Amino acid sequence: DTAVSQTPKYLVTQMGNDKSIKCEQNLGHDTMYWYKQDSKKFLKIMFSYNNKELIINETVPNRFSPKSPDKAHLNLHINSLELGDSAVYFCASSHPGGMNTGELFFGEGSRLTVL
């Protein structure tokens, strides 16, 4: 029943490691996103994909690499993790353009802690 699901929910790792977060949506949406929420609760967009094509790529270090194998999945891989990468990462999706309501459907978030 879960509309947008992310795994893992919690991730604790050492600096310098590489980690991935997976996201899947079963809403039939064409557009998916990654947002980062830092300790001050600021929500910032990182990437957006529309039907597997990269649409938005904000000023994010190239250690972050999104991958969309199909329009229902958007994964995030992070290389050489740094302390400042500690945050909650939210995956989200939205309706296709023709029926666009603009609403973002968020996953539960993945809390990444870098030690």
Partner 1 sequence: GENVEQHPSTLSVQEGDSAVIKCTYSDSASNYFPWYKQELGKRPQLIIDIRSNVGEKKDQRIAVTLNKTAKHFSLHITETQPEDSAVYFCAASRLMIGNEKLTFGTGTRLTIIP
Closest CA to 45 of 30, 29, 31, 56: 56
Neighbours of 92 (CB within 10 A): 23
Interface with partner 1 (CB under 8 A), residue total 26
Complex with partner 1: residue 28 or 97, whichever CB lies closer: 97
| Interaction of residue 40 with partner 1, rule CB under 8 A | yes
Choose which of 22, 73, 104, 113 interacts with partner 1 (CB under 8 A): 104
Please tell me the distance from the alpha carbon of residue 28 to that of residue 64, in angstroms, as a whole number. 26
Q: Name which position in 7, 13, 22, 45 contacts partner 1 (CB under 8 A).
A: 45
Question: Is 69 among the residues that bind partner 1 (CB under 8 A)?
Answer: no
If one asks whether residue 90 binds partner 1 (CB under 8 A), the answer comes out as: yes
Residue from the set 14, 41, 69, 83 that interacts with partner 1 by CB under 8 A:
41
